[in-house]
Structure 1
Amino acid sequence: MAESVITTRREAAILEVTLDRPKANAIDLATSRLMGQTFKAFRDDPELRVAIVRTAGDKFFSAGWDLKAAATGDAVDGDYGVGGFAGLQELRDLNKPVIAAVNGMAVGGGFELALSADLIYATESSTFALPEIRAGTLADAATVKLPKRIPYHVAMDLLFTGRWMGVQEAQRWGLVNEVLADEAALMARVWEVARLLAAGPPLVFAAIKEVAREAEALSFQSAMNYITKRQFATVDRLYDSEDNLEGFRAFAEKRDPVWRGK
């Protein structure tokens, strides 16, 4: 059954989502839809604060779009599901931190899946590539996102040539937050970061994500006006929240704050 390709593990406010679709963790339409439902449920669950995205196996993080499925009629422009390709790429109002744990080759749509996360941690054996150019097609999400994440000329090099980028180069350009020795070290670090974020102020994280996302289409002054006039829903909620006062009280009382998300 399609459900077996996605497994989840929940620890308190953290959800770990694992894609397990041998041999290359390629994503067909059914898998993409299932991932979309999984991440939508994460978004809508008030008890969950952080998600980890990982895949099974040690050779491929993900080969991206399932070309074998496409060859049998699984249309490239079909219904990817509620969150777009791989469930994260176009999921609206996902205002919670998402961490990608990359182990192995992140190729095409697999690279784009990692780019859909807020933080990327990877093993020393990880590599990245956008080979769509060799198939005469567009790496659409990467073409939109990559020039905003790394220097323009480096992004264009990857998109124009389809070459492989090693993890050390990815870290040098700021694409990867940290490089770990192996999968065990990777997952230990990712869970450490996830627990740190889960203990943080969820309403502030939501505001950070909405402001950063919406500000891409605004001038600096327009974005600041939206913030000060409380025209972002997450900012308005934050400024009226108990958590907003809790931060000040905790500082004044010289204690750790207790974040309730309200």
Structure 2
Amino acid sequence: MDYQAIIVEKIGRIAVITFNRPEAMNAVNSRLWLETGTALKEFNEDPDLWVAILTGAGDRAFSAGADLKEIGAGGFSTTDEMKEWGFAGIVRHHISKPVIAAVNGFALGGGTEIALACDLIVASEKASFGLPEVKRGLIAGGGGLLRLPRQIPLKVAMRVILTGNPISAEEAKQWGLVNEVVPHDQVLNAAIQLAEEIICNAPLAVKASKEIVYRGLDTSMTFPPEGWSINNEYTSQVFASNDAKEGPRAFAEKRKPNWSGQ
């Protein structure tokens, strides 16, 4: 695809996807939605890429959420695949590999929903998060109302949701929503460093771990033991892999493992 609303850069095994509409505070229009979903699909299918980073162009915004000008002019133009991916090409898009949000400014409404859909969040000290939809007679329909109460304490989430008021990056970190808060000019580098820590590990094991966590979150571990069935399914696959043999062998030989992803 000839990307126009995003920039895709490959740094070793890392895919950096940048929302490239700084003049619109990286608001999500139909083009950005399609391109982001496509880029994430290509990332997910590329065996040479192991971690993705989402960030925004410019110095102010990660994403201001939905492009209200496009909505006012008639709404989004979406394909069936875009609808399956959900808002911004990510909120309902099943991605089996780790995705990091490098939040380089305010992330409001749909911007917060994009960050919530990522596995890890590195935030600029200037970043803020919020779901202000209720202030406009709307609701956060892109997963914000589902994910936020699962990622921070319920009462804290309800304050954010019902008041529509934003919280700072430091407060978001306090409640466990953000992994790291870094100086503004270091947010992307910090996200890349975190990605590099992940890609030191076996890709099959990382993918399987992610699947077990998310598939197991809403399942029982006792009776019926649904969570254990999921755990055992992926554990057997990983332990039968070549990487599972390479890891102990490299440890015994006192060298770095050479992961094949198989």
1:212 aligns with 213
SS at 1:99's partner residue?
strand
For residues 195 and 157 of structure 1, the distance between their equivalents in structure 2, rounded to whole angstroms, comes to: 35
Equivalent residue, structure 1, for 2:195: 194
**Partner secondary structure for residue 85 of structure 2:** coil
Provide TM-score, normalisation by structure 2: 0.92
2-side partners of 1:190 and 1:125: how far apart?
16
| Corresponding residue for residue 164 of structure 1 | 166
Distance 1:168 1:142, change over 3 A: same
Alpha-carbon separation, structure 2, partners of 1:225 and 1:129: 36
Q: Does 1:151 align with 2:122?
A: no
1:121 aligned residue: 122
SS at match of 1:147: helix
Partner of 1:12: 12
Query: What is the aligned length?
Result: 256
Tell me: CA distance 1:78–1:139, structure 2 relative to 1, closer, same or farther (3 Å): farther
Q: What is the distance in 2 between the residues matched to 1:217 and 1:139?
A: 22
Note if contact 2:29-2:76 (Cα within 8 Å) is conserved in structure 1: no
Opposite residue 177 of structure 1, the aligned amino acid is: N
CA RMSD, 1 decimal: 1.9
Cα deviation, residue 76, structure 1: 9.0
What runs of 5+ residues in structure 2 fail to find an aligned partner? Answer: none
Distance 2:218 2:196 in 1: 32
Q: Aligned partners of 2:248, 2:213: CA distance in 1, in Å?
A: 24
Q: Paired residue for 2:138?
A: 137
Q: Percent identity?
A: 38
Number of the residue aligned with 2:42: 41
Q: Aligned residue for 2:231?
A: 227
Q: Which runs of 4+ in 1 moved over 4 A?
A: 75-79
In the alignment, which residue of structure 2 is the partner of 1:103? 104
For 1:187, the aligned partner's letter is L
- How far does the alpha carbon of each residue in 1:127-155 deviate from its partner, in whole angstroms, 9 at most, with x for none? 11101111222213011101111000000
**1:26 corresponds to which residue?**
27
Q: Deviations over 1:187-207 (max 9, x none)?
A: 221111112222211011111
SS at match of 1:196: helix
Which range is displaced more, 119-128 or 213-222?
213-222
Cα distance in 2 between the residues matched to 1:187 and 1:208: 25
Aligned partners of 1:29 and 1:78 also within 8 Å: no
Taking the aligned partners of 2:2 and 2:253, their CA distance within structure 1 comes to 52
Deviates more, 1:74-83 or 1:218-227: 74-83
Cα pair distance change 1:173/1:106, threshold 3 Å: same
Aligned letter for 1:7?
I
Alpha-carbon distance in structure 1 between the residues aligned to 2:35 and 2:237: 31
Whole-Å Cα distance in 1 between the matches of residues 170 and 230 of structure 2? Answer: 38
The one-letter code of the counterpart of 2:11 is E
Contiguous gaps of at least 5 residues in structure 1: none
- Is the contact made by 2:15 and 2:51 (CA closer than 8 Å) also made in structure 1? yes
Q: Distance in 2 between matches of 1:136 and 1:87?
A: 24
Cα drift, residue 125 of structure 1: 0.8
Q: Where in structure 2 are the equivalents of 1:46-57 lying within 5 Å?
A: 46-57=47-58
Could you tell me how far apart the structure 2 residues matched to 1:104 and 1:53 are? 13
Give the Cα separation in 1 of the matches to 2:134 and 2:178: 23
